[in-house]
């Protein structure tokens, strides 16, 4: 009887595993169709393939979190620098365009009188 229960459990796990695998493969294909990117070729996926334990997977995720945190901190500084540069570059041209537009309006106003 115990052997029978064990084989039913094995079939159930096998069925669940194959269903999950089919869903996962369909999701990978759908992602590839929409983005043109093959996720299993991504370096992060390659790293995960080498994992042999929960702690090795967790370690990779921690590295990714740290990298993202550093990116966000640096991104803030980068965006501030870019905004300042764009502001400096655009101010004269915006001011010049505004002066031209005002001059045109004033000329049109006085020429119609």
Lowest-confidence region among 6-10, 16-20, 102-106, 109-113: 6-10
User: pTM of whole model > 0.85?
Assistant: no
The backbone region for 37, taken as left when phi is positive above 0, alpha when psi lies in -120 to 50, beta otherwise, is beta
> Which contiguous run of DSSP H or E holds residue 42?
none
Task: State how far the Cα of 19 lies from the Cα of 16, in Å rounded to an integer.
Answer: 5
Tell me the average pLDDT of the chain. 77
pLDDT value for 4: 41
List, for residues 49-85, the tens digit of each pLDDT value: 898 999 999 999 999 999 888 877 776 777 787 787 7
């Amino acid at each position: 009887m115990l052997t029978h229960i064990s084989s039913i459990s094995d079939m159930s796990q096998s069925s669940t595993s194959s269903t999950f695998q089919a869903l996962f493969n369909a999701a990978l294909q759908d992602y590839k169709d929409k983005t043109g990117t093959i996720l299993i070729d991504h370096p992060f996926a390659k790293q995960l393939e080498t994992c042999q334990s929960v702690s090795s997977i967790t370690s990779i995720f921690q590295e990714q979190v740290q990298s993202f945190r550093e990116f966000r901190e640096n991104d803030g500084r980068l965006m501030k620098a870019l905004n300042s540069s764009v502001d400096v570059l655009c101010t004269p041209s915006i001011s010049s365009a505004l002066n031209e537009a005002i001059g045109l309006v004033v000329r049109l106003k006085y020429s119609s009188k």
